[in-house]
Amino acid sequence: MARFDKTRLDRIGAVGRRYVDEGKIPCSVVQVADSRGPVYTDTYGWADVEDQTPITAESIFRIYSMTKPITSIVLMQLYEEGELLLEDPLEKFLPEFANPTVMVGGTDISPVTRPAARSITIKDILTHCSGFTYGFLHQGPLDARYRDQDLGGLSTPDYSLSEGMQRLAEQPLLFEPGTAWNYSMSTDVCGAVIEAITGQTLDQAFTERVFNPLSMLDTGFAVSASETERFASLYAPISPGPMTRIDQAKSSNYLEPPAFLSGGGGLVSTLGDYQKFASMLLAGGAAAGNRVIGRRTLEYMASNHLPGGKLLNELGQSLFSEVTMDGMGFGLGFAVVQDPAANASLCSPGEFNWGGAASTAFWIDPVEEITAVFMTQLLPSSHYPIRRELRSAVYQALL
pLDDT in tens, 290-338: 999 999 999 999 999 999 999 999 987 777 888 889 999 999 999 999 9
pLDDT at 318: 72
- Residue 386's φ and ψ, nearest 5 degrees, are -65, -35
- Residue 298's φ and ψ, nearest 5 degrees, are -65, -40
Is the pLDDT score of 179 beyond 70? yes
CA dihedral 254, 260, 264, 269 (to 10 degrees): 30
pLDDT at 155: 87
Is the pLDDT score of 1 beyond 70? no
- Residue 81's φ and ψ, nearest 5 degrees, are -85, 0
**Alpha-carbon distance values, 55 to 28, 93, 182, 232, 371 (Å):** 8, 42, 35, 8, 22
Residues in the chain: 399
Is the pLDDT score of 53 beyond 90? yes
Pick from 199, 206, 234, 200: nearest CA to 220: 206
Fold of 10-67+201-396: Beta-lactamase (3.40.710)
Reported as a pLDDT band with limits 50, 70 and 90, residue 213 is very high
pLDDT at 366: 97
> Are 165 and 98 a contacting pair, CB within 8 Å?
no
How many CB atoms are located within 10 Å of the residue 49 CB? Answer: 18
Q: Tens digits of per-residue pLDDT, 21-50?
A: 999 999 999 999 999 999 999 999 999 999
Reported as a pLDDT band with limits 50, 70 and 90, residue 240 is confident
**Exposure class string for 10-38: b at 16+ Cβ within 10 A, else e:** ebbbebbbebbeeebbbbbbbbbbbeeeb
Is the pLDDT score of 288 beyond 90? no
Radius of gyration of the CA atoms of the chain, in A: 20
Q: Which CATH superfamily is domain 76-198 in?
A: DD-peptidase/beta-lactamase superfamily (3.40.710.10)
CA distance 200 to 47: 34
pLDDT at 206: 98
pLDDT at 382: 86
Torsion over CA: 255, 258, 264, 267 (sign): positive
Lowest mean pLDDT among 53-67, 86-100, 123-137, 235-249: 235-249
pLDDT at 310: 94
Query: What does the domain layout of the chain look like in residue ranges?
Result: 10-67+201-396, 76-198
Pick from 32, 24, 28: nearest CA to 16: 28
Q: Which amino acid appears at position 226 of this protein?
A: S
